[in-house]
């Protein structure tokens, strides 16, 4: 009887270990938790909120305008940054008189936190795999206006948004 009990315990331990390894693999390779730090995405996201990043979102496709992406930037070391995609490869971005233009069209941006006050930026034509990102709190965001375009390879994944219903 005691040998059967030991076998059951060993079996349960191995089963728990295998399940734990699978879950750990899933969390580290496919999705990853992220915490919002700072105010650069207010009013869309607030400091301290928790979300997940879909690390496979851009394996076979490129980011699209308005996607919320998590990426790394050499200027900030290993820190993850979270910003909105404003323009993608082939787009032309410019800022004139505190207004954002993509492909010579002024963007309607109901998600931003108040009017943007920023220096003008001459037209930037995005090359293949380049993305222009900005925070929704334009007056309190370090983004492509400061560190330039980011490369698709620097993107960790797409933020998985909360269900707002």
75 is catalytic: no
Nearest to 140, CA basis, from 83, 74, 78: 83
165 is catalytic: no
In DSSP terms, 33 is beta-bridged to 52
Which is catalytic among the residues 7, 61, 79, 83? 83
Which is catalytic among the residues 40, 55, 141, 158? 40
Residues 6+ apart with CB under 8 A from 161: 51, 68
Any idea which residues carry the catalytic annotation? 40, 83
């Amino acid at each position: 009887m005691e040998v059967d009990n030991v076998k059951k315990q060993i079996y349960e331990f191995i089963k728990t270990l295998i399940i734990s390894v699978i879950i750990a693999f899933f969390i580290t390779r496919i999705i990853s938790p992220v915490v919002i730090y700072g105010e650069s995405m207010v009013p869309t996201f607030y400091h301290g909120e928790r979300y997940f990043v879909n690390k496979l979102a851009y394996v076979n496709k490129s980011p699209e305008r308005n996607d919320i992406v998590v990426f790394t930037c050499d200027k900030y070391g290993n820190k993850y940054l979270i910003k909105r995609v404003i323009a993608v490869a082939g787009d032309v971005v410019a800022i004139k008189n505190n207004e954002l233009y993509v492909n010579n069209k002024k963007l309607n941006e109901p998600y931003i936190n108040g009017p943007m006050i920023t220096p003008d930026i001459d037209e930037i034509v995005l090359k293949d795999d380049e993305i222009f990102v900005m925070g929704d709190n334009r007056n309190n965001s370090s983004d492509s206006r400061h560190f330039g375009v980011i490369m698709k390879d620097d993107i960790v994944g797409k933020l998985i948004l909360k269900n707002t219903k």
